[in-house]
Structure 1
Amino acid sequence: MSTAGSDVDDAIRTLLLLMPRMVGRAKRLRVPEELHSLALAPRHLSLLAYLLFDGESSVNELAQRLEVAPTTVSLMVGELSRKGVLERREDPADRRRKLVSITAERRPAIDGWLGRSAAAWRVALGPLTAAERRTFVETLTAYERHLGGGDPA
């Protein structure tokens, strides 16, 4: 086996041991007590993360980012609005458009919960160059795609 091949195998071995530990630690991040009763699913976390870090957005913008249909996002927004997590308001620049945001009441709990993960990523990614961060993110994206049955090429 070539050195390059064994380097890849060494990295794979390390990652196969590391990934379950990372997932286990991520799962142990406690949902804040005030959010516990809301029965948030993984699909909600991605939506909340976009709103937390990027600010208010329209349903169509969120659908594009989440790579799902606008009707799917609209249903999630409706569900989370009824639970007091999200609110919709008219866009002052275009009254036909509605903007979605996290309610002021729920923002601190969501920020504390998702912010811990973001802080860990900031520490891990901070020392890397922009190109290295891009490579890292592209690598994780490719891994996720191929793990889910995407094109292995």
Structure 2
Amino acid sequence: MSTSEKPAADGTDSPDDAVRELLLLMPRLVSRAKKIPVPEVLRSFPLAPRHLSLLACLLLDGPMTVNELAARLEVAPTTASLLVGELNRMGILDRREDETDRRRRIITISADQEPAITAWLAPGAAAWRKALTPLTPAQRRLFVDTLLAYEAAVEEERQS
């Protein structure tokens, strides 16, 4: 497509125009996310993106069981259990007995670490909330589905 191509008659950009804009935007988003400083009290921990997703779930949705975390993270319960175990050993998460079913364990962010985790992750959640709130539920679903499709397509390209 040439750079002189005009938007479609309905005012929308062509797919190539959108791709071009997203190829410029994505590195900026990643760069900004990487520049969010890890709180001092958490810097010594070997935290990976998989840990951040788990912490974000607990921060946004509150205490839950390992099986609930696994469902939210779309991983096997054994994987969620391993992540919880790692974070528990670091003192970032607490496991407590469920008062209604003593066989179950409820996972929470440690009271000592919660202020730092909140200060670290809450601004990103607030930014997403601000960007998504003006959209209709259908538009939000389309946005999330588009990102999921992009993720799948990138993985497909990587494997071929």
Task: Give the aligned length.
Answer: 150
1:27 is displaced (CA, Å) by: 0.7
1:133 alignment partner in structure 2: 140
Deviation per residue, 1:66-99 (Å, 9 max, x gap): 1222122112111111111000111112111111
Which contiguous aligned blocks of 4+ residues in structure 1 show a shift greater than 2 angstroms?
1-6
- Structure 1 CA distance, aligned partners of 2:39 and 2:81? 25
1:51 alignment partner in structure 2: 58
2:4 alignment partner in structure 1: none
Other structure's SS at 1:105 match: coil
1:32 alignment partner in structure 2: 39
1:104 correspondence with 2:116: no
- Structure 2 CA distance, aligned partners of 1:81 and 1:49? 15
Following superposition of structure 1 onto structure 2, how do residues 3-152 of structure 1 map, counting pairs within 5 Å?
3=8, 7-149=14-156
Which AA in structure 2 matches 1:133? R
Which AA in structure 2 matches 1:19? M
Which AA in structure 2 matches 1:131? A
- Aligned-residue sequence identity (percent) comes to 62
- Structure 2 CA distance, aligned partners of 1:8 and 1:117? 28
Deviation per residue, 1:42-70 (Å, 9 max, x gap): 11001101111011111111112212221
- Structure 2 CA distance, aligned partners of 1:6 and 1:81? 48
RMSD of the alignment, in Å? 1.9
When normalised by structure 2's length, the TM-score is 0.87
Return 5+ residue gaps in structure 1 as ranges.
Answer: none
- Computing the radius of gyration from Cα coordinates, the structure with the larger value is 2
Return 5+ residue gaps in structure 2 as ranges.
Answer: 2-6
- Structure 2 CA distance, aligned partners of 1:123 and 1:67? 25
